[in-house]
């Protein structure tokens, strides 16, 4: 087991290296030249150096004066030493900005993931035990509709109904207008109020795939021989499904749930942007379209790490949860 994890980790490092290189190369190709505009701005101030001098200085500061490959290794060196650079757009160290915005994204992700689980798994089991009934079709269509809903359309509909027509929530933002006048409880409630729509959006668009996954696995388990045996020996249907079948269905579910845990940190780019919540998704979107290389680089590498971590956790959990699985 230890050897397997070690091997997987080593492969992950190699993959990460290449991913980082590809991302770096792409970012270097960005012509949105933030540097140029900054240099132009600074050269405008009276008594300043010329544009060319600023250019040279900034480029050196951001490792842009070297060609892509030496530049990449230079960047990698500082990155590995824990120096992630200063964000060009937010004018603070990348890690500081990241620390500012990651937690709200994580809270949003965690809450919506929790709701996703408590909605998707029971629904999936109900759909599987009522296979080919109208209930099953209804649940499947709802789940498929959730999967098929474009985030931005669903978010817009939510805004129209709940903010514009009913006036329950604000259209944008994480805090209300009178946030600063509220006491501690009021502040938390205010934030919670503003998080309702984003979280509902996230849950609706993402519960479908987990529900379908649960249903498929449950169906597979229900057709297994040991279920027939359980029924044959006269166990109640409730016991068969919740004791024998459900536990076995949990194996793949735990695997996939474990694997998606790191993803809670990745932020919800579209949802955050639409609801104007400055989490990591929104901030990184702003950085990316603003040509902020240090921040975008950091965010993308961070996402790649999360993906690799998720896969690794899923694979390990698979072996841990199911004793029948042997890892070569």
Partner 1 sequence: MKEFKQPPTHMNAVPQRAAEITAERNMEKTKAMEEKDRKANGARQEEQYSLNDDRRVKVLSPGALVAKRFFRNRLAVTGLAVLIFMFVFSFLGGLVSPYGEKQIFYRTDVTNKEYASVVTNDEYRYASNDPVFSGVALAQSGLAISQDKDAYEYGGVSFQITQEGKELYSVWANGGVVGLVYKDIVNASSDTINENDFDFLYGALKAYAGEEKNFTWQDRSFTVNQDGDVLENGEEVAYISRFIVRSVYEDVVITKQWKTELEEALNDGKTVFEMTDENGDVYEYKISYDAYRKSYSVKQGKDTTVIDTFSSPTAEHWFGTDGYGMDMLTRLMYGGRVSLIIGFIVVFIESFIGVIFGGISGYFGGWVDNLIMRIVDIFYCIPSTPLLIILGAMMDAYNVDPKIRMLYLMLILGFLGWPGIARLVRGQILSLREQEFMTATEATGIRVSRRIFRHLIPNVIPQLIVAMTMGLGSTIILEATLSFLGLGVRFPFASWGNIINAVNDTHVLTSYLFVWIPAGVLLLLTVLAFNIVGDGLRDAFDPKMKR
**Site for partner 1, rule CB under 8 A:** 11, 14-16, 18-19, 22-23, 26-27, 29-33, 132, 137, 140-141, 144-145, 147-153, 156-157, 159-160, 164, 171, 266, 269-270, 273, 284-285, 288-289, 291, 296, 299-300, 303-304, 307-308
| Cα 160 to Cα 156: distance, rounded to the nearest angstrom | 6
Residue nearer to partner 1 on the CB measure, 103 or 152: 152
CB of residue 30 vs partner 1: minimum separation in angstroms?
A: 5
CB of residue 199 vs partner 1: minimum separation in angstroms?
A: 19
- H-type alpha helices, the chain: 2-29, 34-44, 51-61, 68-80, 94-129, 134-148, 151-158, 184-222, 225-232, 237-239, 246-260, 269-275, 280-289, 293-321
Residue nearer to partner 1 on the CB measure, 103 or 137: 137
Residue nearer to partner 1 on the CB measure, 60 or 160: 160
Residue nearer to partner 1 on the CB measure, 260 or 266: 266
CB of residue 7 vs partner 1: minimum separation in angstroms?
A: 12
CB of residue 131 vs partner 1: minimum separation in angstroms?
A: 10
Residue nearer to partner 1 on the CB measure, 22 or 118: 22
| Cα 8 to Cα 313: distance, rounded to the nearest angstrom | 11
| Cα 155 to Cα 157: distance, rounded to the nearest angstrom | 5
User: Could you tell me if 252 and 325 are in contact, meaning their C-beta atoms sit under 8 angstroms apart?
Assistant: no
CB of residue 54 vs partner 1: minimum separation in angstroms?
A: 20
Which has the closest alpha carbon to 139: 127, 121, 122, 125?
127
Q: What phi-psi label fits residue 192: left (phi over 0), alpha (psi between -120 and 50 degrees) or beta?
A: alpha
CB of residue 15 vs partner 1: minimum separation in angstroms?
A: 5
CB of residue 235 vs partner 1: minimum separation in angstroms?
A: 25
| Cα 127 to Cα 137: distance, rounded to the nearest angstrom | 8
CB of residue 152 vs partner 1: minimum separation in angstroms?
A: 5
Residue nearer to partner 1 on the CB measure, 30 or 44: 30
Residue nearer to partner 1 on the CB measure, 30 or 60: 30
CA distances, 230 to each of 15, 16, 71, 244, 252 (Å)? 46, 47, 64, 8, 21
Residue nearer to partner 1 on the CB measure, 176 or 291: 291
Burial letters for 170-197: b for 16+ Cβ neighbours within 10 Å, e otherwise?
Answer: beeebebeeeeeeeeeeeeebbeebbeb
Neighbours of 326 (CB within 10 A): 7
């Amino acid at each position: 087991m230890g050897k397997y994890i070690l091997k997987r980790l080593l492969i992950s490092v190699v993959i990460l290296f290449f991913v980082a290189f590809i991302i770096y190369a792409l970012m270097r190709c960005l012509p949105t030249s933030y540097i140029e505009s900054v240099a132009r701005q600074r050269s405008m101030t009276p008594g300043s150096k010329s544009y060319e001098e600023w250019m040279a200085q900034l480029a050196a500061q951001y490792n842009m004066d070297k060609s892509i490959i030496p530049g990449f290794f230079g960047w990698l060196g500082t990155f590995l030493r824990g120096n992630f650079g200063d964000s060009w757009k937010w004018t603070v160290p990348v890690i500081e900005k990241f620390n500012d915005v990651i937690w709200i994204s994580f809270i949003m992700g965690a809450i919506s993931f929790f709701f996703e689980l408590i909605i998707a798994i029971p629904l999936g089991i109900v759909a599987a035990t009522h296979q080919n009934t109208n209930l099953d079709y209804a649940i499947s269509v709802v789940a498929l509709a959730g999967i098929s809903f474009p985030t931005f359309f669903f978010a817009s509909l939510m805004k129209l109904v709940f903010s514009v027509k009913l006036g329950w929530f604000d259209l944008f933002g994480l805090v209300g207008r009178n946030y600063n006048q509220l006491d501690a409880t009021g502040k938390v409630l205010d934030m919670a109020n503003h998080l309702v729509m984003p979280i509902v959006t996230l849950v609706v668009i993402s519960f479908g795939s987990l529900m379908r996954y649960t249903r498929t696995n449950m169906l597979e388990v229900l057709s297994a021989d040991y279920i027939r045996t359980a029924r044959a020996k006269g166990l109640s249907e409730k016991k068969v499904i919740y004791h024998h079948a459900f536990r076995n269905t949990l194996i793949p579910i735990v695997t996939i749930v474990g694997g998606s845990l790191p993803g809670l940190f990745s932020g919800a780019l579209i949802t955050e942007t639409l609801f104007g919540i400055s989490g990591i998704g929104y901030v990184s979107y702003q950085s990316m379209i603003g040509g902020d290389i240090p921040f975008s680089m950091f965010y993308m590498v961070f996402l790649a790490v999360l993906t690799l971590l998720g896969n690794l956790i899923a694979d390990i959990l698979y072996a841990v949860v199911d004793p029948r699985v042997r890892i070569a």
